[in-house]
Amino acid sequence: MNLIQKIFYVFLLQILVCYQTIAACDSIYYTKYFNIAQSYQNQHQHQKVIALVDSVVILTRNNEGCKFVLNLLHLKGLALEHSQKFEESSALLKQLIGLAQRYRMPEIEAKSYLTLVRLHDFLKREGDLRRNLQNAKKLIDNYNLHHLLPEYYVRASSYQRFFGSGDSSLYYAQQAIVWGEKNNDYLNLADAHFLLSTHQNDTNEQVKSNLKSAEYFKRLGSNSSVALQYINVIRSLNNKSKLGEVDKYIDSARVYLSNLEKTPRVYDIHEYLSKLISEKYEKIGKVDSAIFYIKLASSYRDSSHFVTNDQFISEKEVEIATLKEKARVIELTKSRKFWILGFLVTLISILILGFLYGRNLKYQQKISVQKDQILAQKDELDKLLANQTVLLSEVHHRIKNNLQVVIGMLTLIGRKTNDQKVVQTFNDMSMKIRSISLIHEQLYSKNQFDLINVESYIQQLVNQFEQMNTINGIKFQIKISDALAFNLDTLFPIGIIFTELIINSIKHATVLDNNTLLIQIEILENGGKYMLSYSDNGSGKMTDNIALGTNIVQSMARQLNSKGIEYNDHGYHFQLEFYEKIVAKLNTK
């Protein structure tokens, strides 16, 4: 967001304040801005949605019962959820549900529940997801809100996909298509066809569903989503080695990405596309081209991180400007009766200040010189601190990139052999290296070098396993406080331990009656001491032989000055009590 846009939103707030007091619930006034915000939302320009709603709406007792105001605020909540600002989004949506219940607005209440379902779907909170889904369905049925059924069935299909059965997910996706066509709901039709493609085994049917999803996204003007669907087509064709049909979809994806604003989402899509192109060239034996596109994908990833940081700064600047303007508007509204008196007081104050200024000019000049000296010293210290932070970030960045190159080389070498044991060995080595690479990625991306968020790291580690095609049918449950953070010396052995245990479960855990393999990961704190627990619901460890994996786990446990305990009880269990290692803190603040 550039400076002109920032000035525009602040100026828009100033212009609209007076009219807003008159148009407390004017449909013509609010519908115009709702349509603009909806257009931004379809184009994934979520920060523009947030800024526009903030500039138009100030929630007060006079307008909290206005459905047009609440609809705009619901769009803001959806934009916050898309921006992964989950706490802000959840708080706003719960406030909207309370207002909708107070003023009997079932449609807004149902829409807010469905948006909370999206949020809980992303966070994998099954209980909250199911409860809000049921609340939305009850409102839809009781008040005949059939136009919300496409979104409900899409959310229900997604829920069944992760927490229920494949047949149920497929059924709800088909229902979403039926009701989406009845209501011309292009967004949910696009999502439904994508969900349908995830349940189809025939490549031609998958491609057909992805292309249908792309057509609906075209109608919405969501070019980045169109490109994503073409990428899904490319992935399906690559998996089936139908490489002759890939090029035209690569070109189509590039066309829809070409004129888009360079946002983190767009860079991420470019990265994904480059990886698929590299995979294609690798399969046809063009190793140089494959390596080129792997490097290009890495470049897009770095650009995404840079733009993310830049947008974060811009968002904070806009928030500060908006908050200042809102505070000024509220203050002006409260003091309207005293404007004339305030003007007279201000005039007298100016005369007094002018007189005092003349008397104290020499004193102020002295203070100014001292202030300049202090600021110069502060600037020098700030530069030194910034250089230190940049150097630390660059060190971790380069380590992460070097590890990625090693992973890429292992992957390329592993794909050249048909020996599955050799391939599995390379995959295991890659996953161990990835667990280390993720730590360095967390360090340089957050610019916080002394502590790493444990829940975020473990979730990313699990995501790496979920992206492996060989582990379909495995479910992870993670119970770690989102406030828990460890230093690098503590988290490094924990990451290796979990990586080795997950690999062992995938290789050796046998689940009866074709049940889903459930892997549970938990870290609890008790008075400064931590309990690490890992378990699966497989057949348990079948031998007491000490293998290489066991040696690695116990070696990492010794780094934590502890010893792991393993036993069988309806599956394999591993427990480890430890204290966080004490290290010297980095002075980066």
- CB of 414 closer than 8 Å to CB of 426: yes
Can you give the residue range of the structural domain that contains 576? 453-589
Q: Structurally, how many domains does the chain consist of? A: 2
pLDDT digits (tens, 9 = 90+) for 103-154: 999 999 999 999 999 999 889 899 999 999 999 999 999 999 999 999 999 9
Upper half-sphere CA count for residue 279 (Cβ side, 13 Å): 19
Bridge partners of 522? 479, 533
Structure tokens at 24: 């407390």
Q: Does residue 23 fall inside a structural domain?
A: no
Domain boundary among 306, 326, 346: 306
Q: Please, are residues 328 and 320 in contact by the beta-carbon 8 Å criterion?
A: no
Q: What tens digit of pLDDT does each residue of 226-250 get? A: 999 999 999 988 888 888 888 899 9
Query: Does 251 reside within a domain?
Result: yes
CA 348 to chain centre: 54
Q: What is the mean pLDDT of the chain?
A: 82
120 assigned to some structural domain: no
> Where a domain ends, among 257, 273, 306?
306
User: 143 Cβ partners below 8 Å, 6+ apart?
Assistant: 106, 107, 110
Q: How far is CA 55 from CA 4, 159, 193, in A?
A: 15, 35, 36
pLDDT in tens, 412-432: 666 667 766 666 676 666 766
Q: Is the pLDDT of residue 36 over 80?
A: yes
Residue 173 has pLDDT above 70, yes or no: yes
CB 439 within 8 A of CB 491: yes
- Percent of all residues in the chain with a pLDDT value above 70, rounded to a whole number: 76
| HSE of 211, CA atoms in CB hemisphere, 13 A | 13
Q: What is the pLDDT of residue 20?
A: 47
pLDDT band, residue 316 (cuts 50/70/90): low
Residue 512 lies in a domain: yes
Task: Give the pLDDT band (50/70/90) at residue 531.
Answer: very high
pLDDT for 24 equals 57
State the Cα–Cα distance between residues 163 and 129, nearest whole angstrom.
Answer: 10
Please determine, for residue 514, whether its predicted confidence score (pLDDT) is greater than 80: no
Highest mean pLDDT among 5-9, 28-32, 93-97: 93-97
Of 394, 528, 405, nearest to 449 by C-alpha is 394
Q: Record the tokens describing residue 381, joined without a space.
A: 């210290």
Q: How far apart are CA 13 and CA 87, in angstroms?
A: 25
The band of 187, judged by pLDDT with boundaries at 50, 70 and 90, is: very high
Give domain status of residue 370, yes or no: no
State the amino acid at position 407 in one-letter form. I
pLDDT value at position 111? 95
Confirm whether 127 is domain-assigned.
no
Residue with tokens 């989406």: 180
Last residue of a domain, one of 306, 337, 360: 306
How far is Cα 574 from Cα 501, in angstroms, rounded to an integer?
9
What does the pLDDT read at residue 371?
A: 83
What is the mean pLDDT of the segment spanning 276-305?
A: 89
The DSSP letter of residue 202 is S
Q: Which residue has the higher pLDDT, 487 or 589?
A: 487
Q: How many CB atoms lie within 10 A of CB 584?
A: 7
CA 520 to chain CA centroid, Å, is: 23
Give me 284's structure tokens: 């046809």
What token pair was written down for 498?
């979990």
Model confidence band, residue 22 (pLDDT cutoffs 50, 70, 90) = very low
**Whole-number pLDDT of residue 23:** 47
Q: Which residues of 254-280 are buried (b: 16+ CB within 10 A; e: fewer)?
A: eebbeebeebbbbbbbbbbbbbbbbbb
Here the CATH number for the domain that contains residue 232 is: 1.25.40
Q: Which residue has the higher pLDDT, 446 or 8?
A: 446
The C-alpha atoms of residue 481 and residue 479 are separated, in whole angstroms, by: 7
- Assess contact for 516 and 474: CB atoms under 8 A: yes
**Is residue 562 one of the residues assigned to a domain?**
yes
Strands 529-536 and 517-526: antiparallel
User: How far is it, in rounded angstroms, from Cα 444 to Cα 400?
Assistant: 9
H or E stretch covering 525: strand 517-526
How far is it, in rounded angstroms, from Cα 309 to Cα 148?
Answer: 36
Radius of gyration over alpha carbons of the chain, in Å?
A: 28
Angle between helices 67-82 and 46-56 (to 10 degrees): 150
DSSP strand pairing (474-480 vs 517-526) = parallel
Q: Would you say residue 206 has pLDDT above 70?
A: yes
* Residue 345 predicted with pLDDT over 90: no
Domain holding 568: CATH number?
A: 3.30.565.10
Whether residue 369 lies inside any domain: the answer is no
Give yes or no for residue 212 having a pLDDT over 50. yes
Q: Is residue 392's pLDDT more than 60?
A: no
Alpha carbon 566 to its chain centroid, in Å, reads: 35
Nearest-angstrom CA–CA distance, 517 and 508:
11
